[in-house]
Structure 1
């Protein structure tokens, strides 16, 4: 008889008592509910016992190194349905995902082709480094940040100041102008959420680009709100091969998964509310034999370029009072009674000491109040909060929830 998720979590908590329960659930979900794969990913031996802590943190490795089946990494997860529901048309996408709009053939064909070739041939894309339960890992897709100027204001991304970036080429600048028109036309037909940009016109100040080779993927995540702010609007341009893009509600973690395959030269606008309400990923491609030659892009083959144009609402970094490291802006969602509250948490999670990566998590924390300058408050009752109008679970717990004023 198959074991329930709760039963698996009980065993994981016994094996890994130092790990956060919500984090254990996220890893279990990304491993398709496999208890064995989750144990191996977290560093357990083949017998199921955790290895000594110092043995597991000796060197930097890729995430797939910790999973025997390298195709596990965020390709499929447990859901209410046995498999993702495919969304093929604009109507299907926008009906199922209330905070998305989908637009095809957004650039002139020759501009899309030139931009694709420029980014494919750019040698400066790099793998992203990140921490997972004390392990320093690298992504198996490549990324690069582009800015329209050579002298930008200080910009922080994933807890670090951006010093290595590319400057917009002519194609990227023209593309931004065209995309801004599409985004603003879409915004004119939507209800404004309380914390999205107050400007009459949405404008991007930077572009984050991801390059996916045939064997690349991107794990489940929501984009950090730290600089793009609450209720951000991100315009995601797809070029080259049409890769699957999966989306699910952030809570509960076993929510139905939806699958989209954005076409070459298409734009998926993740509107205000998307990052708060959804997680997304780019799963691994199926095996080579299952990819039709007709599906390959004539220039990119099985490679995909994704360029996300972003509006940075919060330009000044918030630094931790305890350690001085930059702080990350997040929104509570796990506890229904606190769901919707925004807060700042220190981004300093782990440091290298004595040759090992040992946990040195900083406890720096503050509630966020976007009416303040800086946007901080120590009073939970004064923190900024927002709930999706369809989210009835917190209301069922508390009866009433203070909504942020528009």
Structure 2
């Protein structure tokens, strides 16, 4: 005779006492009432890896969370896990906080209208191996006023930019309050700005049409420095914002959908530990009418307020081009070391044979001016406290 749902829940609560009972019921229902499949999903080992493919690809993590700040247990899947609630997002993404309704409604609408109708947005251009590439979304840099010195962004001098409107400046002031309140509740990382309150010196904005996207990347730290803090404001239509760890390469993908007038704060450590993207909408996907924004329709505006810590560019000793600040992550034996790499192959056709790049390289030492060293052991270094693999491997070499 089949066991009742209540009997199955009693068994599950005995086996998984740390899980919320309502969450256990959610999993049991998603497994069509199968106690065996539920045990497999919530368990571990090779059987879980084989079985997970049979379950629903889109999941919410609330079913796995006992309390908002408890550790989240997830099984690896190639499908994104969707995070809906603030507690889910912040429990799953260590260096991220999510905030809704950050601006007065009328201010958010005015800022959205201004940016949607700004005709100066344009596609970004860059070079890879001598080939010119163009993004399929549009971008624009904004500044409070004309900079007194030469301003660089991603290896290029910024000459085309917009000046803040009153609405953009007011939004920045309000967002700075949200960011500083969030920072007051977090433990700082060693290389993030120590100069009191977080302030933004510029804003970089992306405009997404229905058929636009942004590929996987981490924001370059060249000017925003190590352990940067970026406040990302979403306006208009809600699009997927996907995040995954930079290591290993098959890390679980998490997806959130920032709502109109919401803020994702990418805290210190986010750019070092995560990559993010805005994927294309599925082909032939028909957006439900109720999901369209009354002003923007299917268009989305993203404004990222940034604190620029490094004003003076570092120039390559081989070719004289500006260099990019990066951090090693692929090899756990070297993970955590910051370095400067020539950006010439990304910013212009360098005249070399196709496939060749400038080899300009130096380790970064943030205690020096300029912050360069040829000695790896004297370079600046940071590992996440939960990076067990790299910590164990590097400790064994000491």
- Assess same fold via TM > 0.5: yes
Residue 152 of structure 1 deviates from its aligned partner by 3.9
Match of 1:140 in 2: 136
Aligned in 2, Cα 1:289/1:226: closer, same or farther, shift over 3 Å? closer
In 1, distance between residues paired with 2:353 and 2:290?
46
What SS class does the counterpart of residue 358 from structure 1 fall into? coil
Q: Which runs of 5+ in 1 are unaligned?
A: 1-78
Deviates more, 1:343-352 or 1:247-256: 343-352
Is 1:115 aligned with 2:127?
Answer: no
Aligned partner (choices 50, 59, 79) of residue 83 of structure 1: 79
Q: How many residues align?
A: 323
Match of 2:184 in 1: 188
Aligned in 2, Cα 1:300/1:394: closer, same or farther, shift over 3 Å? same
Aligned partner (choices 361, 365, 376) of residue 369 of structure 1: 365
Q: Within 5 Å, which residues of 2 pair with 1:170-209?
A: 170-209=166-205
What SS class does the counterpart of residue 77 from structure 2 fall into? coil
What SS class does the counterpart of residue 139 from structure 2 fall into? strand
Aligned partner (choices 321, 326, 331) of residue 325 of structure 1: 321
Match of 1:22 in 2: none
Aligned in 2, Cα 1:392/1:289: closer, same or farther, shift over 3 Å? closer
In 2, distance between residues paired with 1:344 and 1:84?
33
Aligned in 2, Cα 1:353/1:236: closer, same or farther, shift over 3 Å? closer
Match of 1:101 in 2: 97
In 1, distance between residues paired with 2:249 and 2:388?
16
Match of 1:25 in 2: none
**Deviations for 1:292-334, whole angstroms, at most 9, x for unmatched residues?**
0100000000000000000001111000111100000000001
Match of 1:341 in 2: 337
**Deviations for 1:172-213, whole angstroms, at most 9, x for unmatched residues?**
000000000000000000001000001110000000000000
Q: Within 5 Å, which residues of 2 pair with 1:255-270?
A: 255-270=251-266
Aligned partner (choices 252, 277, 301) of residue 297 of structure 2: 301
Aligned in 2, Cα 1:145/1:325: closer, same or farther, shift over 3 Å? same
The runs of 4+ residues in structure 1 deviating greater than 6 Å are none
Aligned in 2, Cα 1:364/1:172: closer, same or farther, shift over 3 Å? same
Alpha carbons 1:352, 1:358 under 8 Å: kept = no
Match of 1:213 in 2: 209
Residue 372 of structure 1 deviates from its aligned partner by 0.5
Aligned partner (choices 214, 224, 227) of residue 223 of structure 2: 227
Alpha carbons 1:349, 1:359 under 8 Å: kept = no
Aligned partner (choices 376, 392, 397) of residue 396 of structure 1: 392
Aligned partner (choices 84, 88, 92) of residue 92 of structure 1: 88
Alpha carbons 1:235, 1:269 under 8 Å: kept = yes
Match of 2:151 in 1: 155
Alpha carbons 2:344, 2:350 under 8 Å: kept = no
Is 1:311 aligned with 2:307?
Answer: yes
**Deviations for 1:85-119, whole angstroms, at most 9, x for unmatched residues?**
00001000000001000000000000000000000
In 2, distance between residues paired with 1:151 and 1:101?
31
Deviates more, 1:281-290 or 1:158-167: 281-290
What SS class does the counterpart of residue 383 from structure 2 fall into? coil
Q: Which runs of 5+ in 2 are unaligned?
A: 1-74
Aligned partner (choices 240, 244, 250) of residue 248 of structure 1: 244
- Structure of larger gyration radius: 2
Alpha carbons 1:319, 1:325 under 8 Å: kept = yes
Residue 289 of structure 1 deviates from its aligned partner by 4.5
**Deviations for 1:214-259, whole angstroms, at most 9, x for unmatched residues?**
0000000000000000000000000000000000000111100000
Aligned in 2, Cα 1:382/1:353: closer, same or farther, shift over 3 Å? closer
